[in-house]
């Protein structure tokens, strides 16, 4: 870049002069060098970041794997107890439900007014 004195001196010279061309080439070379350095830094950041991210995610998955590891005999015992208790509870609930008097009632469609439709359903149930 030119200093103010150089700008004043070159003010009378035509723009196509040899000095102006050399100064312009020097500015372009300097800018290209800066661009190369910035590009190298950016590439280093992107590539280094991807490797760093891979390592951190691998640590995360390894930690989860270690935390979930359980003795196989203990794991089988825990799962069987959970399943049997849950199944028995559900079976008791199903015993209490009266399926002989069950009616299939259609719910309102998205374009229908739900309150109006509920009133229609109630009147139909009361008639029966």
DSSP string, 45-73: HHHHHHHHHHHHHHHHHHHHHHHH---HH
Please state the domain extents for the chain: 1-69
Residue 23 has a pLDDT of: 58
Q: Cα–Cα distance between 43 and 20 in angstroms, integer?
A: 34
Q: Cα–Cα distance between 22 and 6 in angstroms, integer?
A: 13
Q: What share of the chain is helix, strand, coil (3-state, %, to 5)?
A: 75, 0, 25
Q: Which residues contact 117 (CB under 8 A, 6 or more apart)?
A: 108
Q: Which pLDDT tens digit goes with each residue over 10-25?
A: 665 555 555 655 555 5
CA-closest candidate to residue 36, choices 44, 46, 48: 44
Q: Which pLDDT tens digit goes with each residue over 54-92?
A: 998 999 888 888 777 767 666 666 666 666 667 788 888
The conformation of residue 74, written as its DSSP 8-state character, comes to H
Q: Cα–Cα distance between 27 and 32 in angstroms, integer?
A: 9
Average pLDDT estimate for 29-42: 76
Instruction: Match 């970041």 to its residue by tokens.
Output: 49
Q: Biggest alpha carbon distance in the chain?
A: 106
pLDDT above 90 for 104? no
Q: Cα–Cα distance between 55 and 75 in angstroms, integer?
A: 30
């Amino acid at each position: 870049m030119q200093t103010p004195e150089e700008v004043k001196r070159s003010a009378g010279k035509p723009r196509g002069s040899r000095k102006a061309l050399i100064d312009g080439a020097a500015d372009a070379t300097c800018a290209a060098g800066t661009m190369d350095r910035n590009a190298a830094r950016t590439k280093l950041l992107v590539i280094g970041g991807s490797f760093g991210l891979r390592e951190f995610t691998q640590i995360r998955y390894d930690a989860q794997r270690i935390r979930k590891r359980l003795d196989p005999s203990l794991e089988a015992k825990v799962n069987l107890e959970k399943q049997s208790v849950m199944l028995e509870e559900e079976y008791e609930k199903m015993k209490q439900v009266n399926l002989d008097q069950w009616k299939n009632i259609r719910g309102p469609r998205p374009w229908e007014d739900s309150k109006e439709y509920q009133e229609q359903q109630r009147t139909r149930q009361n008639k029966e």
